[in-house]
């Protein structure tokens, strides 16, 4: 494939091409400027050229390809990936792979690490849910013991797909994640916990609006129910509660789910709509 080459792109023009030709709004931003900003964090933007004509592009940084796209009228995705690989033979990771490209990359020696998708729903004050008997609701704020929250999350996620995919973190790692999310959502914290009759945490939902969140969307960062309190509709209640309470501040609630997580069916049930699925893939060099 000697007629193919990479040529560094000016990142603002690259962003315009990427948004138009990416063929998917994976983050479900619904906004032109927000999607442009997704790619402007780096100047490692490249055109894939054929006989001095643009046929595609990608961000290539630290052996990782991100935001790949083909430029119309070129449409052969197999040729695109083979040419990109031939021009940069040290690629180990490809992030944000659309379903139509997965089989192609599998034939080139890549394997799927994880498949994810963003889901959105309208924030709506008319959404109602009845708190199951024997439980009470409390805001998750600075007064709650962070270590206790971390332990509840470890118990709630134990055996789940995220721990299988990413590995089981230790308590310190979970504690850091909790503190990070609560710091991010401090601008508009919507997080809650559900307590059982013994005033122990039965479930929790860490959610809110970041000051830097595009369009002011709300986001659910983490949600879990401890095993002994599952199948009591606690998760359904928390999701509906967040949808209703967020409506005072925003129009949309977002989350991201690992494909294969049983919670996806619940998200759909309470009104979350899925965006396109995308995979992160890698190979040994």
pLDDT at position 72, please?
A: 97
Rg (CA), the chain: 21
What's the Cα-to-Cα distance from 139 to each of 6, 124, 193, 238, 280, rounded to whole Å?
A: 52, 19, 6, 12, 35
pLDDT tens, per residue, the chain with 285 residues: 568 999 999 999 999 999 999 999 999 999 999 999 999 999 999 999 999 999 999 999 999 999 999 999 999 999 999 999 999 988 999 999 999 999 999 999 999 999 999 999 999 999 998 999 999 999 998 778 889 999 999 999 888 888 888 888 999 999 999 999 999 999 999 999 999 999 999 999 999 999 999 999 999 999 999 999 999 999 999 999 999 999 999 999 999 999 999 999 999 999 999 999 999 999 987
Question: 171: closest CA among 149, 138, 195?
Answer: 149
pLDDT at position 1, please?
A: 59
CA-CA-CA-CA dihedral for 221, 222, 223, 228, to nearest 10: 180
SS3 82: helix
pLDDT at position 19, please?
A: 98
Specify which residues 8 forms β-bridges with: 46
**Preceding peptide of 70 cis, ω within 30°:** no
Q: 222 with 190: CB under 8 angstroms?
A: no
pLDDT at position 109, please?
A: 95
Per-residue pLDDT tens digits for 41-74:
999 999 999 999 999 999 999 999 999 999 999 9
- Domains of the chain, start order: 4-109 (3.40.630.30), 120-275 (3.40.630.30)
pLDDT at position 153, please?
A: 93
- Pairing outcome for strands 64-70 and 93-98: parallel
225 is written with which tokens? 């129910």
Per-residue pLDDT tens digits for 152-177:
999 998 888 888 888 889 999 999 99
pLDDT at position 245, please?
A: 97
Question: 70: closest CA among 98, 43, 92?
Answer: 98
DSSP run (H or E) holding 106? helix 99-107
């Amino acid at each position: 494939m000697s007629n193919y080459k990479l040529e560094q792109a000016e990142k603002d023009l690259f962003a315009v091409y990427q948004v138009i030709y990416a063929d998917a709004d994976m983050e479900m931003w619904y906004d032109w400027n927000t999607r442009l900003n997704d790619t402007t964090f780096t100047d490692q933007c490249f055109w894939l050229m054929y006989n001095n004509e643009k046929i595609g592009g990608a961000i290539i940084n630290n052996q990782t390809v991100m935001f790949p796209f083909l430029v119309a009228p070129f449409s052969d995705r197999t040729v695109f990936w083979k040419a990109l690989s031939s021009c940069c033979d040290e690629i180990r990771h490809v992030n944000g792979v659309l379903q139509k490209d997965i089989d192609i990359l599998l034939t080139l020696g890549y394997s799927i690490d994880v498949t994810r998708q963003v889901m959105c729903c309208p924030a709506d004050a008319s959404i109602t849910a009845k708190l199951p008997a024997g439980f009470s609701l409390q805001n998750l704020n600075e007064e709650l013991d962070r270590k206790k929250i971390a332990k509840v999350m470890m118990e709630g996620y134990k055996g789940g797909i995220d721990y299988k995919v990413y590995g089981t973190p230790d308590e310190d790692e979970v504690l850091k994640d909790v503190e990070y999310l609560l710091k991010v959502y401090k601008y508009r914290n919507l997080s809650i916990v559900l307590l059982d009759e013994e005033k122990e945490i039965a479930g929790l939902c860490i959610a809110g609006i970041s000051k830097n969140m595009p369009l002011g969307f709300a986001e659910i960062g983490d949600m879990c129910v401890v095993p002994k309190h599952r199948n009591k509709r606690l998760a359904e209640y928390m999701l509906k509660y967040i949808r209703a309470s967020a409506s005072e501040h925003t129009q949309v609630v977002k989350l991201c789910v690992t494909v294969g997580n049983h919670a996806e069916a619940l998200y759909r049930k309470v009104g979350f709509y899925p965006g396109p699925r995308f995979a992160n893939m890698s190979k040994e060099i």
